């Protein structure tokens, strides 16, 4: 009976649900000052905000991390080749972030989640950023000279999930500073 109860509890508490339970704060907007303070311990190349008017597009077939567009999470990692094609992608709702050793190789192992949207590309990814076209072009050009570009979507209010992924990606950036471009995208936009 205990085993059966455990199975039911495990199926109800999917990785997405467990992460939401572990979150200690309510979703809210995050200021530039909050974000800068939060990120001071991590290694990255760029820190930007998502464009509120376009971020909803991540639930569409063209821009979503999953082919199943009903699933979307604030914490995501997308990895691109220098030509802008997708290498791999991870999301808190896919369960991969629960494995504390998911950064045990360089590059990360390809995610074998069956519903990854393989049509994603880095140029389209830049459409979600609240940046001028000159800065977007600069980031795109720089990404073409790196082995991989890591794009991490996060919000401070996601607590453990964001910290865990940022810490792991930061380790990669520290070990491979000239091979990896790291772009952090905060999705809890401050509308000042």
182 bridge partner residues: 150
Q: Does residue 107 have a cis bond before it (omega within 30 degrees)?
A: yes
3-class secondary structure, 177: coil
- pLDDT tens digits for 75-91? 888 899 999 999 988 87
pLDDT higher than threshold 70 for residue 158: yes
Burial class (CB within 10 angstroms; exposed 0-12, middle 13-18, buried 19+) of 67:
middle
Q: Residues 155-182: what's their mean pLDDT?
A: 89
Instruction: Report pLDDT for 15.
Output: 46
Write the pLDDT tens digit of every residue in 101-150. 566 677 777 877 767 778 888 998 888 788 899 999 999 999 999 999 99
Query: What are the tens digits of pLDDT across the range 24-74?
Result: 455 567 788 888 898 999 999 999 888 766 666 666 666 777 655 545 577
Name the H helices within 15-159: 15-22, 32-39, 52-55, 122-125, 133-143
Angle at 105 (CA atoms; ends 112, 102), nearest 5 degrees:
55
Sorted by sequence, the CB contacts under 8 Å of residue 42 that are 6+ apart come out as: 166, 167, 169, 170, 184
């Amino acid at each position: 009976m205990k085993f059966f109860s455990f199975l039911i509890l495990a199926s109800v508490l999917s990785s997405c649900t467990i992460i939401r339970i572990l979150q200690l704060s309510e979703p809210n907007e995050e200021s530039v000052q909050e974000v800068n303070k939060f990120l001071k311990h991590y290694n990255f190349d760029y820190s930007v905000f998502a464009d509120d008017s376009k971020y909803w597009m991540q639930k569409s077939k063209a821009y979503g991390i999953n082919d199943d567009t009903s699933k979307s999470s604030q914490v995501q990692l997308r990895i691109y080749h220098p030509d802008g094609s997708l290498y791999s992608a991870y999301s808190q709702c896919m369960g991969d972030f629960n494995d504390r050793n998911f950064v045990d190789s360089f590059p990360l192992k390809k995610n074998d989640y069956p519903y990854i949207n393989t049509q994603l590309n880095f140029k389209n990814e830049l459409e979600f950023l609240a940046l001028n076209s000159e800065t977007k072009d600069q980031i795109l050009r720089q990404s073409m000279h790196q082995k991989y570009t890591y794009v991490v979507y996060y919000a401070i209010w996601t607590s453990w999930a964001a910290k865990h992924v940022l810490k792991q990606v930061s380790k990669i950036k520290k070990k491979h500073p000239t091979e990896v471009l790291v772009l952090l995208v905060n999705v809890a936009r401050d509308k000042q």
